[in-house]
Amino acid sequence: MPIPLTHLNIAHLIGARRPTVTTTLNNLTEAGLLRQESNGYWLLRGGPPVQARDVLDRTAGLRPGPTAPRA
């Protein structure tokens, strides 16, 4: 059964703000990991969601920093 979800509905479900959901969905689409089918359904492409980690980290403003040299 299809359940229509707005960006605001998704934001409420995951505890995020609506603009963050919109930005993340746009970034996943641009990266080729999310696409809308001709029937209106959305398809998350690729392997496990961990493969989308780079896109999600960029959206969240997270960047892995260099490791500190050991003494």
Q: What is the pLDDT of residues 18-37, one digit of tens each?
A: 999 999 899 889 988 899 88
Distance CA 30, CA 8 (A): 20
Within a domain: 47: yes
What SS3 class is residue 43?
strand
Within a domain: 44: yes
Q: Which domain holds residue 19?
A: 7-60
**Which of residues 10 and 50 earns the better pLDDT score?**
10
Contacts of 10 by beta carbon, 8 Å cutoff, 6+ apart? 16, 21
Compute CA 33 distance to the chain's CA centroid, rounded to the nearest angstrom: 9
Within a domain: 66: no
Within a domain: 54: yes
Domain count, the chain: 1
In the predicted model, what is the mean pLDDT of residues 13-17? 91
Q: Is the pTM of this model over 0.85?
A: no
Within a domain: 32: yes
In the predicted model, what is the mean pLDDT of residues 53-66? 64
What SS3 class is residue 42?
strand
Tell whether the model's pLDDT for residue 65 goes beyond 80. no
